[in-house]
Amino acid sequence: MYFRRHPITPRRRTPLLAAATGLLLTGMSAISACSPGSSETADASLAALPSSDQSRLSAYYDQSPKWRKCGAPGFECATLKAPLDYAKPSAGDIDLAVSRKKATGPGKRLGSLLVNPGGPGGSAVGYLQSYAGIGYPKEVRARYDMVAVDPRGVARSAPVTCLDGKQMDTYTQTDVTPDDSHEKDQLSAAFKKFAAGCETTDRTSKRILPHVSTVEAARDMDLVRAAVGDEKLNYVGASYGTFLGATYAGLYPERVGRLVLDGAMDPSLSARDLNREQTAGFETAFTSFAKDCVARSGCPLGTGTPDQAGKRLKSFFTTLDRTPLGTGDPDGRKLGEALATTGVIAAMYDEGAWPQLREALTAAMTKKDGAGLLALSDSYYERDPDGTYTNLMFANAAVNCLDQPPSFTSAKEVEDALPSFEKASPVFGAGLAWSSLNCASWPVPPTGEAHRITADGAAPIVVVGTTRDPATPYPWAKALAAQLSSGRLLTYEGDGHTAYGRGSDCIDGAIDTYLLTGTPPKDGKRCS
């Protein structure tokens, strides 16, 4: 089970993957339920509701946040109400957690800048308070109130809950490269237990589960826009946050301000195609890592070509499938193939983590010590040392499985597709294909499907793609920029997931200029 993330780290690269948000690869979301080029607005939605409910939706837009101090100095928090079901506001409310850090000056305030780090499942409030509110360029923070809302189902906003810590430990160690019918049954059972837990573990979770789609989260963002007093939405979204931002633009094109979509998704692809293309993205990233590694003395993957290094890593995974390694973990967890693969994939998101990965692989492959790879895996799943997990993975699956029909509905379908996944990635293909079965047993039917978003009439939208991005492959950024009527493609020629704030003065300068002046980069601009 693998997901996208935008790292919560300092703006410059760091080898530590201490905290992150992400998007589950399996059962990925792809697109909202709005039609291509929809000019639907909140007012249009309001008019379509029964007259008895119209005043209730108006009340959501008339909210005045009651801000209170929270977190680090300078941050404030508030709670906004949102309808559980926009189609039926009388069905009740949910609470949305919102945070902000007011513009510091000097210079004229430009409004609010909403940020989202990705996921689905990443806490935007946590991202704001840990990174964006202090790490974005001071010129941007001087002119904008930095604002974040935890999307519905996530963190502080009616969170989805599925399994406890011990159950999650078992789940994350489940073999996702089954060798026989018994192991296939075990994998299917693990997915079913996870899905059932989301309905039965917590009353809030069961209530929110049918209403955590990206469309509904985008509508919630419009409530936040109104609550902070902005006529248009200014927004920076990374990874899954690009899908959320594009969905907003599709719903409310006339309310688009300055939108940056960094590490973009292609909303026109089916879940299966998204999974397969992301699998190829991880192979591209691994090839880049392997090329760097084999050129160094003491590379744990030996010498030779990246292809040879990949075969050695795959062989190592196979060995772990039979004989897991000790880790020194106080809860007794060993490093099997599943956790080791997750640890390697975690380091693909940022080339600054490559030294950490080399060290972890060296310890595991030569010293039989799996602690380093386990630590990388834990950072990926957001598992704390005390054995507790954030709700990242729960919300992740809940949104993805609602946004699109499942990639696969049976083991037979996975088996038929295995050759194409293994062609996309000889190292990771089989595991990622089988992981894509996770939405097959989801208790809530999907409400969305894949299609294009054009957002006709929207102001210029900057779409950013990284050429060797593992999680959101570069062709996706090209596709989204082409779909959006006002899309402007900005390319970073390099490694890692997302581009803004990762060390390229060219990328940062282009985005900062757009946010501060409204002037987008020339379409097709390339940076390194």
Q: Say whether 239 is catalytic.
A: yes
CA-wise closest residue to 27 among 317, 465, 445: 445
Mean pLDDT over 81-107 rounds to 95
| Residue 83: φ, ψ to 5° | -70, 135
Q: Does residue 50 carry a pLDDT above 70? A: no
Confidence of residue 359 (pLDDT cuts 50, 70, 90): very high
pLDDT tens per residue across span 144-160: 999 999 999 999 999 99
State the catalytic residue, choosing from 38, 239, 268, 436. 239
| Residue 6: φ, ψ to 5° | -120, 115
Confidence of residue 26 (pLDDT cuts 50, 70, 90): very low
pLDDT tens per residue across span 182-214: 999 999 999 999 999 999 998 989 999 999 999
pLDDT at 54: 56
Q: Does residue 502 carry a pLDDT above 60? A: yes
At 230, list the tokens: 């902005």
At 308, list the tokens: 């040879």
Q: Does residue 312 carry a pLDDT above 80? A: yes
Confidence of residue 318 (pLDDT cuts 50, 70, 90): very high
> Which amino acid does the sequence have at 193?
K
Instruction: Name every residue whose Cβ is closer than 8 Å to that of residue 238 and which is 6 or more positions away in sequence.
Output: 6, 116, 117, 118, 262, 263, 498, 500
Mean pLDDT over 408-423 rounds to 98
Question: Measured between alpha carbons, how far apart are the two ends of the chain, in Å?
Answer: 31
pLDDT at 8: 32
pLDDT at 481: 98
pLDDT at 246: 97
* Percent of the chain scoring above 70 in pLDDT: 90
Is residue 143 a contact partner of residue 513, using CB atoms and an 8 Å limit?
no
Superfamily designation of domain 1-6+23-45+101-168+183-409+416-528: Alpha/Beta hydrolase fold, catalytic domain (3.40.50.1820)
Q: Say whether 182 is catalytic.
A: no
Mean pLDDT over 35-41 rounds to 33
Cross-strand pairs, 389: 383
Helical residues (DSSP H) of 348-473, grouped into ranges: 354-366, 371-381, 392-403, 411-424, 429-435
Mean pLDDT, rounded, of the chain: 91
Domain ranges for the chain: 1-6+23-45+101-168+183-409+416-528
Of 29 and 135, the one with more pLDDT: 135
Confidence of residue 53 (pLDDT cuts 50, 70, 90): low
Q: Does residue 43 carry a pLDDT above 70? A: no
Nearest-Å Rg of the Cα atoms of the chain is 22
pLDDT at 56: 74
State the catalytic residue, choosing from 169, 220, 262, 469. 469
CA 311 to CA 290: how far, in whole Å?
A: 11
Is residue 38 a contact partner of residue 79, using CB atoms and an 8 Å limit?
no
pLDDT at 277: 97
Q: Does residue 127 carry a pLDDT above 50? A: yes
Mean pLDDT over 336-356 rounds to 97
pLDDT at 237: 98
State the catalytic residue, choosing from 32, 157, 268, 497. 497
For 349, counting Cβ atoms within 10 Å of its Cβ (0-12 exposed, 13-18 middle, 19+ buried), the class is: buried
pLDDT tens per residue across span 175-187: 999 999 999 999 9
Q: Does residue 3 carry a pLDDT above 50? A: no
Q: Does residue 28 carry a pLDDT above 80? A: no
pLDDT at 372: 98
Q: Say whether 497 is catalytic.
A: yes
pLDDT at 451: 86
